[in-house]
């Protein structure tokens, strides 16, 4: 029995299967969440490749001049992204950050370990839907919501709506809660303007993670702890931190 899928059909098939796996997870099969994430990321990569083929079908291959084209490797996600940029198409900061975050998540699943609670799975899939819809709408690729199969539409719409509502609420709360009235980007979940400055830490109102603020022992400027290095790990319990600029300056002497 033969089963053929074109590039776009393959992408939409993975999208629909991701939604079904997510619903299976909601119905009690916790293992299904992992496969939902994998199917979603596969769908996004294929959609980007599909856009490239709209300029020319052979551009999906790394070597479009090959005499044996069917055996050539196809391009990856970042090749497709660069193609879009070279065409002058806009890749928003939100979309680019989502793509980077999603690729890291898929690599963790495929090559290391996967640990994610249900709340984080819902947020991850909502994030993927946002990235996919933004890409499709910006480039007139297709109406993604209408491309979802009937049995999956309710799940698709619920995830998309929940995510949009959660992001909007987190961004508004971050400004209200921040000691300086400013909202900051979160280095954990990658969302923009969802973190508040609360005393000596950045607190994300979306993923709930906190990042301590520390002082560089050289320039005395303040930085998130994730952006500095430990400078004296042999002199605990007092720890000195150094920022990237100061460390580079010292090491270049």
Across residues 9-31, what is the average pLDDT?
Answer: 90
Q: What is the mean pLDDT of the chain?
A: 85
DSSP 57: G
Predicted confidence (pLDDT) per residue in 201-251, tens digit? 999 998 889 999 999 999 999 888 988 998 876 666 778 999 999 999 888
In the chain, where the domains are located: 7-171, 216-253
**Phi and psi, residue 59, nearest 5°:** -70, -10
Closest C-alpha to 90, from 55, 134, 133? 134
Is the bond preceding residue 242 a cis peptide, omega within 30 degrees? no
Percent of the chain with pLDDT over 70: 94
Q: Which of 219, 218, 21 is nearest to 121 (CA)?
A: 21
pLDDT of residue 208: 87
Report the share of the chain in percent with pLDDT over 90: 30
More confident residue, 55 or 117: 55
pLDDT score of 180 more than 60: yes
Sequence-separated (6 or more) residues with CB below 8 Å from residue 178: 184, 196, 197, 198
pLDDT of the residue at 19? 93
Please give the pLDDT value at position 117: 65
Contacts of 41 (CB under 8 A, 6+ apart): 102, 103, 105, 106, 128
For the stretch 104-150, pLDDT in tens is 878 888 887 777 666 667 777 787 787 778 777 877 778 888 889 99
Q: Higher confidence at residue 60 or residue 165?
A: 60
Give the C-alpha separation, 209 to 188, whole Å. 7
Residue 124 is predicted with a pLDDT of 72
pLDDT at 201: 93
Q: Tell me what pLDDT residue 110 has.
A: 83
Greatest mean pLDDT among 62-71, 114-123, 153-162 lies in 62-71
Question: pTM score, two decimals?
Answer: 0.66
* Average confidence (pLDDT) over 32-39: 88
Least confident of 84-88, 99-103, 192-196, 213-217: 99-103
Quick check: 14 pLDDT over 90?
Answer: yes
Give pLDDT, residue 2: 57
Return the structure tokens found at 222: 């303040």
């Amino acid at each position: 029995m033969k089963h053929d899928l074109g590039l776009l059909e393959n992408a939409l098939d993975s999208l629909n299967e991701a939604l079904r796996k997510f619903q299976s997870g909601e119905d009690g099969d916790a293992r299904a969440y992992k496969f939902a994430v994998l199917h979603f990321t596969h769908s996004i990569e294929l959609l980007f490749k599909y856009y490239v083929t709209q300029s020319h079908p052979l551009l999906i291959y790394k070597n479009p001049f090959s005499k044996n084209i069917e055996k050539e490797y196809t391009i990856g996600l970042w090749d497709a992204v660069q193609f879009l940029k070279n065409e002058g198409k806009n890749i928003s900061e939100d979309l680019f950050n989502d793509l980077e975050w999603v690729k890291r998540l898929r690599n963790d699943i495929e090559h290391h370990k996967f640990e994610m609670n249900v709340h984080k799975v819902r947020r991850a899939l909502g994030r993927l839907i946002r990235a996919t819809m933004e890409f499709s709408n910006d480039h007139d690729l297709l109406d993604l919501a209408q491309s979802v199969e009937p049995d999956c539409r309710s799940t698709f719409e619920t995830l998309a709506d929940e995510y949009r509502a959660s992001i909007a609420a987190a961004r508004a709360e971050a400004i209200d809660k921040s000691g300086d009235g400013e909202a900051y980007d979160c280095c954990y979940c990658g969302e923009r303007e969802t973190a508040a400055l609360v005393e000596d830490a950045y607190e994300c109102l979306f993923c709930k993670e906190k990042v301590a603020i520390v002082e560089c022992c050289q320039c005395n400027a303040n930085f998130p702890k994730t952006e500095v290095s430990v400078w004296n790990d042999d002199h605990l319990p007092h720890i000195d931190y150094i920022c990237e600029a100061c460390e580079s300056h010292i090491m270049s002497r």
